[in-house]
């Protein structure tokens, strides 16, 4: 076996390994199963490329992005290593060249996407070419808890078992839960040799700022770094295009990148970014794992990322050459609302959504940190650190205040309302704001009603946001986003522990006009739950979501909260057919329980005839055995009662002509039925 240091020098041109690389290379080369978690820019790819050259046979590299595979194959070939990729983006000539190299036994590294494993021929092909090692790049994608979940990654464990070869998995970010899932799915629960090589990137300056004219904030940040390559991450595709145009108008070289673009257009942006100095790419997270440019000098987030893992992956693309790099992450209430709704509208089970809310809380904790951001960031990944001196909070400490009493009041309001309400309603209680909802529930008589008038509504929103950042409270997906307390809140509630909050977060002005939300804060979680149900039904039926119910109908459901099918039928957009097909499913989301209703009665749902039908049923039940309760049981069919409710016969003669009404039934029920029908006219 050729020595690692010799290959490192002769093939890759490096005189020495980076910290942590050598022992990983030796373990992989020796055929051990390995899980290596290394920071972005820490040299992960070398840790499987070098062992591939040290071992006989072919190393299969499973990678999530075509751009990433192309970059690595190109670099390996330039270094004289036989490598190839089989991707959907290949030309016929490229694919033929890969097969020829495999047939001739020359190829050392074969890159494929996990989706290729779904093809029935893949297993036979991999057996035939003599695979001796499987390397999994961006292994966090195997985790359903991760932000880049790819279902075909789940086939890799099966591939490892079938081929009987060692597997090495690499990623830059994985919290304890994700690590556990990687071990379960890739290694059948048998712990591989694990290497945790530190998450710190001390050359990257960390900074967060509350949104206050975010477009101008991004433009100012870019202007101070004009001529440097940078990435701006946005939460929506549309925003990438408008912000890229604004940067271009300001004299920067900038372009947009998102998943909705044509593949060739995306490839052109990737090529430009790799070769042009000073280009700014404004992108969604679609522009992510394929970025392999060492001299990106800054990364900005125009919107709050989804999680700390996502944030760390994205800022890690800056300063991969070890030179100084800067970051800026903007955040605001709209971002948090969007991220919460994305979690709630997903189809994940409640426990996963609760875990994702906790991950978002951790990111809010980083955004609202009181001290060194790097300490908070590394602490999330289980590392300890001293103050870094290279973040905005080390540059200038934030203003703080003792928030113990305010937090205790908020927790008391949550407890006294039995953890069934969101921040909007709780703030109404704390500020003593009397609303219909407050009066209906008697919450104006709670001891906490009005105890928080020393803060205004916006300040209370900031306090609740910081409470989430401290993971004292979390939205409960099973209660449509109602805030529930965590164990961490109990010592504060019991006056056993104090808490410090940032005062600057309470005072930040926002010059932008308020964004008009589809629904109130209170109704937003329910709307998200209704959208999730709509999405599930639409996917099952292979229909566009709007063909189930449009947004306006779901908004009215969230606001009106129908308690039964009668009320559901009165919602605009809920016709008889949709009520029959979907009414119970959506009612169950709103009320937590489905309603049983006879099909004949359901056809009258939402109509006055339905109320008449119910009264006729009640009368019939009273007289079923006659006025004295001793006669032979007798009843009318639901169809007969529906006919009466709709036609409203006015006399006994008219009643006798109703289909299904014979003389005996007329004698027993007729007068009582007429009383009901006349009372409803």
pLDDT by residue (tens digit) across 640-679? Answer: 888 888 888 888 888 888 888 888 888 888 888 888 888 8
Q: Determine how many CB atoms are found less than 10 A away from the CB of residue 286.
A: 16
Q: Could you tell me the two tokens for 541? A: 């039926």
Strands 254-257 and 204-205: unpaired
At 514 the pLDDT is 42
Distance between CA atoms of residues 531 and 526, nearest Å: 9
- Name every residue whose Cβ is closer than 8 Å to that of residue 621 and which is 6 or more positions away in sequence: none
Distance between CA atoms of residues 139 and 573, nearest Å: 45
* Low-confidence residues in the chain, pLDDT < 50: 1, 509-516
At 513 the pLDDT is 38
Q: Could you tell me the two tokens for 365? A: 């904790």
Q: Determine how many CB atoms are found less than 10 A away from the CB of residue 220.
A: 12
- Name every residue whose Cβ is closer than 8 Å to that of residue 318 and which is 6 or more positions away in sequence: 204, 230, 231, 296, 297, 298, 299, 325, 326, 327
Beta-bridge mates of residue 400 = 502
- Name every residue whose Cβ is closer than 8 Å to that of residue 349 and which is 6 or more positions away in sequence: none
For the entire predicted model, the pTM comes to 0.66
* Segment 238-244 long-range contacts (CB within 8 Å, at least 24 positions apart): 239/302, 239/303, 240/282, 240/283, 240/284, 241/282, 243/215, 243/218, 243/282, 243/302, 244/280, 244/282
Do the beta carbons of residue 53 and residue 11 sit within 8 Å? yes
Do the beta carbons of residue 268 and residue 279 sit within 8 Å? no
| Domain 608-679 = CATH 1.10.10.10 | no
**3-state class (DSSP) for residue 508:** coil
The CATH code of domain 524-596 reads 1.10.150.80
Q: Which of 10, 102, 120 is nearest to 59 (CA)?
A: 102
Class level of CATH domain 400-507: mainly alpha
Domains 4-196 and 608-679 in one fold: no
Return the CATH fold of 4-196: Rossmann fold (3.40.50)
Give the domain ranges of the chain: 4-196, 204-331, 400-507, 524-596, 608-679
Architecture of the structural domain at 204-331: 3-Layer(aba) Sandwich (3.40)
Q: What is the DSSP letter of 582?
A: I
């Amino acid at each position: 076996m050729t020595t690692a240091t010799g290959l490192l020098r002769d093939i890759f041109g490096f005189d020495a390994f980076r910290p942590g690389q050598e022992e990983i290379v030796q373990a992989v080369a020796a055929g051990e199963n390995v899980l290596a978690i290394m920071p972005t820019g820490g040299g992960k790819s070398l840790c499987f490329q070098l062992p591939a050259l040290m071992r006989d046979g072919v190393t299969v590299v499973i990678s999530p992005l075509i751009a990433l595979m192309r970059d690595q194959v190109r670099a390996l070939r330039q270094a004289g290593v036989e490598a190839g990729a089989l991707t959907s983006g290949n030309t016929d000539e490229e694919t033929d060249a890969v097969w020829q190299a495999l047939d001739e036994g020359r190829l050392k590294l074969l890159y494929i996407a996990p989706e290729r494993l779904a093809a029935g021929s893949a297993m036979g092909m991999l057996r035939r070419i003599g695979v001796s090692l499987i390397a999994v790049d961006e292994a966090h994608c195997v985790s359903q808890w991760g932000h880049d979940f790819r279902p075909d990654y789940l086939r890799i464990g099966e591939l490892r078992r079938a081929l009987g070869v060692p597997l090495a998995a690499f990623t830059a970010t994985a919290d304890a839960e994700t690590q556990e899932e990687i071990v379960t799915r890739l290694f059948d629960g048998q712990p591989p040799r694990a290497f945790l090589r530190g998450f710190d990137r001390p050359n990257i300056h960390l900074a967060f700022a509350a949104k206050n004219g975010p477009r101008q904030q991004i433009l100012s940040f870019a202007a101070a770094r004009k001529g440097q390559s940078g990435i701006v991450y946005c939460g929506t595709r549309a925003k990438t295009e408008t912000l890229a145009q604004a940067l271009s108008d300001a004299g920067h070289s900038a372009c947009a990148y998102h998943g909705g673009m044509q593949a060739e257009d995306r490839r052109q942006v990737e090529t430009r970014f790799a070769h042009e100095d000073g280009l700014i790419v404004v992108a969604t997270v679609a522009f992510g794992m394929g970025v392999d440019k060492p001299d990106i000098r800054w990364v900005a987030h125009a919107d709050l990322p989804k999680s700390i893992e996502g944030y760390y992956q994205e800022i890690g693309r800056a300063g991969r050459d070890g030179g100084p790099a800067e970051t800026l992450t903007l955040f605001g209430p709209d971002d948090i609302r969007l991220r919460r709704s994305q979690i709630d509208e997903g189809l994940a089970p409640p426990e996963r959504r609760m875990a994702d809310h906790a991950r978002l809380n951790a990111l809010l904790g980083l955004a609202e940190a009181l001290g060194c951001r790097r300490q908070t960031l590394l602490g999330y990944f289980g590392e300890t650190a001293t103050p870094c001196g290279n973040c905005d909070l080390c540059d200038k400490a934030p203003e703080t205040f003792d928030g113990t009493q305010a937090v205790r009041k908020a927790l008391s309001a949550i407890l006294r309302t039995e953890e069934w309400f969101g921040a909007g309603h709780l703030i109404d209680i704390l500020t003593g704001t009397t609303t219909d909802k407050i009066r209906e529930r008697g919450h104006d008589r709670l001891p906490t009603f009005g105890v928080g008038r020393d803060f205004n509504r916006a300040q209370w929103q900031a306090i609740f946001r910081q409470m989430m950042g401290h993971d004292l409270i979390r939205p409960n997906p099973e209660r449509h986003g109602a805030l529930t307390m965590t164990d961490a809140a109990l010592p504060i509630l019991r006056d056993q522990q104090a808490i410090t909050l940032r005062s600057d977060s309470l005072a930040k002005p926002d010059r932008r006009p308020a964004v008009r939300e589809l629904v109130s804060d209170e109704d937003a979680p329910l709307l998200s739950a209704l959208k999730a149900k709509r999405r599930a039904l639409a996917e099952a039926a292979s229909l566009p979501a709007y063909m189930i119910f449009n947004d306006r109908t779901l908004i009215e459901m969230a606001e009106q909260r129908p308690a039964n099918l009668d009320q559901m039928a009165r919602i605009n957009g809920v016709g008889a057919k949709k009520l029959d097909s979907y009414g119970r499913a959506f009612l169950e989301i709103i009320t937590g329980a489905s309603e049983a209703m006879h099909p004949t009665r359901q056809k009258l749902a939402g109509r006055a005839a339905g109320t008449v039908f119910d009264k006729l049923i009640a009368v019939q039940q009273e007289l079923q055995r006659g006025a004295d309760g001793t006669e032979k049981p007798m009843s009318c069919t639901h169809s007969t009662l529906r006919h009466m409710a709709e036609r409203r016969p006015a006399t006994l003669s008219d009643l006798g002509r109703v289909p299904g009404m014979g003389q005996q039934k007329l004698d027993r029920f007729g007068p009582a039925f007429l009383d009901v029908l006349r009372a409803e006219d």
